[in-house]
Amino acid sequence: MENSNSIYGSHLPVLEETMDKLMRHIAEIREVMTEQLGMDPVEHCLCRIKSEESMREKCRRNNLPETAESALTKLYDAIGLRIVCAFVDDVYTIRDYLVNSEQYKIVKEKDYIRRAKPNGYRSYHMILRTQSGYYAEIQLRTISMDTWAALEHHLKYKKNLGGHVDLIVSELKRCADELASTDLSMQTIRDMILEKE
């Protein structure tokens, strides 16, 4: 039964179907890459339909009416996927598979891995328009980038940190740079191993 109060209205079942189709496509990409690499390139993959509350709040933040039209045509993250890989190269390989697929139109890409945000945040963001006409936001990152982002997200919602905020922010930035360096080193080691096979 359709929830008439839902911001997604009657679109919710097709949104879920579109998300499932995207996940199946990611599983196919993983299979191909696993054959090539001898290991699954994806550590884990999460998906979600943005919650009612979050979507309504985002509409308000962007001065948009709280309607299905706003949620599905003005904002692009009703469907969200986070794909977490062990190695940086795998992030870009999966990105290439998605870009070269005829199933999607690429609306926007932001490479926060090569050009990190000032606070140290690293991730590869894509907005895809699917064949069903709905948009999906894809975040591709390594395990270390994902761990860092989770900690930084936790900091945003933590109250009563007092005078420690500046120290925590600078330590997070330092850790982001160290993790990026480690990601590159790990990639180099894996490349050396693959060359010897």
* Residue 126, Cβ density class (10 Å: 0-12 exposed, 13-18 middle, ≥19 buried): buried
- 193 pLDDT more than 80: yes
Strand partners, 106: 128
Q: What are phi and psi of 134, to 5 degrees?
A: -90, 155
| CA atoms of 122 and 119, how far apart (whole Å) | 9
Q: What mean pLDDT is reported for the chain?
A: 92
Helix then strand then coil, in percent of the chain rounded to 5, is: 55, 20, 25
In this prediction, residues 141-162 reach a mean pLDDT of: 85
- 143 pLDDT more than 70: yes
Amino acid at 190: R
pTM for this entry: 0.90
| CA atoms of 102 and 51, how far apart (whole Å) | 29
- 94 pLDDT more than 50: yes
Looking at residue 38, what is its pLDDT?
87
Of 63, 57, 55, nearest to 7 (Cα)? 55
Both structure tokens of 44: 């884990």
How many whole angstroms from its chain centre is CA 20? 16
Supply the angle between the helices 165-196 and 88-100 in degrees, to the nearest 10: 80
Q: Kindly give the pairing relationship between strand 79-85 and strand 135-142.
A: parallel
169 band by pLDDT with thresholds 50, 70 and 90:
confident
CB 106 within 8 A of CB 127: yes
- 118 pLDDT more than 70: yes
Q: What structural domains does the chain harbor?
A: 9-147 (3.30.460.10)
In this prediction, residues 53-69 reach a mean pLDDT of: 96
Of 42, 16, 49, nearest to 27 (Cα)? 42
Looking at residue 2, what is its pLDDT?
40
